[in-house]
Amino acid sequence: MTDALHTLPAEYEISTDAARLDAARIHQWLSTDAYWAMGRPREKQDRAIAGSLNFGVYDSASGEQVAYARVVTDRATFAWLCDVYVDRSVRGKGFGSALVAAVRDHLEPCGLRRILLATADAHGVYEKVGFSALEDPAKWMALGKQ
């Protein structure tokens, strides 16, 4: 599910099977250790999971989830990649790049016009798999908290 440059160690796998998600762990990661989701209530996180295409990275032997990404998409023209999180115990080993590459590859057959994301500190992870800064950010607007 990932390209040759962005592969996971052999003992890990990526899945979009929602039944495998460890929702409690995802909530703990995001609400206590992710600057964009600090304090997010569990109920809100569960609703976000339910309304999204979810990706998990799992230890193949134990089934333990070690990373997560969520995509909000119409599967036709647009996608928003968000809540990308890699457990601190496996950071620095290429899990983030492999996960984002898997998201990109999974969405490729949809023929989306664009996949957007926002990051304050992980530009290099996303650039490795083809993301770039907006050419004309003045075209974009937002409603709500920025």
Average pLDDT of the chain is 94
Q: So what's the pLDDT on residue 5?
A: 59
Q: Please enumerate in sequence order all residues whose Cβ is within 8 A of that of 127, keeping only pairs 6 or more positions apart, or say none.
A: none
- pLDDT digits 0-9 by tens, 35-81: 999 999 999 999 999 999 999 999 999 999 999 999 999 999 999 99
Q: What is the DSSP letter of 34?
A: -
pTM score, two decimals? 0.93
Q: So what's the pLDDT on residue 3?
A: 53
